[in-house]
Amino acid sequence: MRFGPAGYPDEARGKLERVFAILSEIGLDALEYAAVRGLRLGEERAREIGSLSERHDIAMSVHGAYYISLASRKPEIRERSKERLVKALTFAPLMRVRRVVFHPGGYGGLDKREAFRVIRNALREVWQQADGRRCGALLAPEVAGKVNAFGSVDEILMLCTEVEGCIPTIDWAHLYARSQGALRRKQDFVRVIDMFERELGDLFVDNMHFHVSGITYTKAGERAHRPLGESWGPDILPLLEVIRERGYSPTIISETPTPVRGALYAKFLLQELEEAQR
């Protein structure tokens, strides 16, 4: 199991070597590179990231641009969205990235079935154009936090069953908000995990990628990410209990407002569970 933040530690002050040194020093071993405004780096910088991540044994993922919209009403936005994912996949070997996390976007005014078809076909094109099998990375569409957004558990699961190279990113905070706080007990987490494991088997189990955070929500779903371990949910302790009991080894990425602190908190909870069982 690996733990890490979404984005660089603030303390690194933009110094790339310090990013990986800090994570290594404090006992974190994963990093989700935040390309939320696009992957704006050249090959030399990408190779430097890959070299440093290998030296410090940091598992790398990348979060694609927030403005990806594969079912947009505008054809040019659809094309640019696919291009951004192709670039992320082709840069993955340079950065030692194993998962390209992204939000597929909205429904673009289409009904849900048609939007799914358009998004599915777009991802098939992305995988083919990038020659995905040679990239060493998987496409990892994320469960969305808005009630009426594309990205329900069922939609993400269907994408992953119908598109080669797709695995889910389960954002537990988003799912908590989307379900209006229904994600509370251990069995709630088990139900979701079992759905993916039943349909995807080892592809899912061997590549588990989870996002964790506290969250506030409205009737529309996600409102704002919050720290872990405070009054808002979800409580991730039942999730960690399931992970430990079943012997899973996911990568857990903190998306809290202070993501390094959130990653350390999640790791601390796991250590507390392990000590309690000794």
- The residue count of the chain comes to 278
- pLDDT attached to residue 185: 94
- pLDDT attached to residue 23: 97
- pLDDT attached to residue 241: 96
Mean pLDDT calculated for residue range 58-66: 95
Q: Distance between CA atoms of 127 and 133, rounded to whole angstroms? A: 8
How confident is residue 222, by pLDDT bands cut at 50, 70 and 90? Answer: very high
How confident is residue 105, by pLDDT bands cut at 50, 70 and 90? Answer: very high
- pLDDT digits 0-9 by tens, 133-171: 999 999 999 999 999 899 999 999 999 999 999 999 999
**What's the domain count of the chain?**
1
CATH code of residue 93: 3.20.20.150
Q: What is the pTM of this model?
A: 0.96
- pLDDT attached to residue 100: 98
Cβ(170)–Cβ(210) under 8 Å?
Answer: yes
Cβ(117)–Cβ(71) under 8 Å?
Answer: no
Q: In the predicted model, is pLDDT for residue 278 greater than 80? A: no
Q: In the predicted model, is pLDDT for residue 54 greater than 90? A: yes
Cβ(38)–Cβ(65) under 8 Å?
Answer: yes
Cβ(101)–Cβ(209) under 8 Å?
Answer: yes
Q: State the residue range of the domain holding 265.
A: 2-276
For helices 75-95 and 112-129, angle between their N-to-C axes, nearest 10 degrees: 40
- pLDDT attached to residue 146: 95
